[in-house]
Amino acid sequence: MQRRNNPARAMQPFQTLLTYPVKLRDSFTLSPIALSAWILVFLFATANHTFWMIGAEVFFGHGLAFSGFVLALFLLMLSIFSLFGFPCVLKPFLVVIVVLSAVSSYYVDTLGIVVDRDMIQNVAVTTFAESKHLITLGFVLHLVVFGLVPAAIILTIRPKPQGMLRTPATPVVGFVVGLSLAVGVLALDMKPYATVVRERKDPLSSFQTGAPLVGIIRYARKVSKVRKDVIAPIGEDAVKGSSYDAGAKPVLVVVVVGETAWSQNFSLNGYNVKTNPRLAELPVVSFSNVHSCSTATAVSLPCMFSNFGRDRSTYERGVSTENVLDVLQHAGFHLE
């Protein structure tokens, strides 16, 4: 007897192969808390090189205390992540966190910067022309490996389905439990932890992704307090001097602001290396007794053009009051 071929049976291996990725995706599910915990483990391991180095120095000889400090930070961040544990919010939130951590950790580790409120302000007001030199091959590779690839993996994970009551309750319970455990760990040996937080700002300021999140929140609060539609005018009575009378040649003034230059490195101010050879040949005046308002461009530059001075200059005053450029416009000068 001749055996007849069964087309359906012949296609069965191919159908199994085609449906395998779907079955694998359906079997690989995580609860919101578990997914957040795994992402935090990944961030602690890959985005906190500077934090680990500083922490090892600060807690040198006290490994148990350092372990408790790290555990408390982990539980605190897990409690915060729990608040975003809703099905439609969790994965987009974690994707943003992973990419943000990859970006900030690269510059913290390579340039030694501090991602605080002023640094967030710098990022918010800078232009691509000013910042494009910071986009290097090393940065792109770091962003792809530690940011974009993990973000793509997060998007493929299917959160474990929960009941109608557990879905809204889980974020609240996770936040309360995580925060309580973090406080409990710190309470076991509060004195050294309080001393570290009070005396050494660098461990927390290098921690990813806590430091960028705090910086973003503080900058948002600062911006929200300012009414930009109310700007106090100054120097409205300014006029041109007699040297600008009709018939005189047009005057072009170019102002070059080097607010990130160190006065101590200028040979005009006594530095033993000739860093200003051409300026030294010109009748220039070097003001050496001058102090910047900040090391951040977004803070120091508005301060330099304001009428408040270093001690009284604030962000709120700067954006709500005209500056020297506005005074020049009042006097009839054309600014570019």
In whole angstroms, give the CA distance from residue 31 to residue 245: 76
In whole angstroms, give the CA distance from residue 224 to residue 68: 36
Would you state the structure tokens that stand for residue 104, as one six-digit string?
A: 């900030």
Model pTM score: 0.75
Position 24 scores a pLDDT of 44
Q: What is the DSSP string of 182-218?
A: HHHHHHTTHHHHHHHHHH--HHHHT-TTHHHHHHHHH
* Cβ pair 52, 59 in contact under 8 A: no
In a structure prediction context, what are the per-residue pLDDT tens digits for the chain, which is 336 residues long? 455 555 555 555 545 544 544 444 555 678 889 999 999 999 999 999 999 999 999 999 888 999 999 999 999 999 999 999 888 899 999 999 999 999 999 999 998 888 888 888 888 888 787 788 888 999 999 999 999 999 999 999 887 777 777 778 888 899 999 999 999 999 988 888 888 888 888 899 999 989 999 999 988 888 887 766 678 889 888 888 877 776 667 778 888 887 667 777 888 888 888 888 998 899 988 887 777 888 777 888 888 888 888 888 888 888 888 999 999 888 888 887
> Which amino acid, one-letter code, is at 40?
L
Would you state the structure tokens that stand for residue 2, as one six-digit string?
A: 């001749």
Domain ranges of the chain: 15-224, 242-330
Position 20 scores a pLDDT of 43
* Cβ pair 258, 249 in contact under 8 A: no
Position 260 scores a pLDDT of 66
Beta bridge partners of 159: 30
Position 137 scores a pLDDT of 94
Would you state the structure tokens that stand for residue 141, as one six-digit string?
A: 């590779």
In whole angstroms, give the CA distance from residue 38 to residue 35: 5
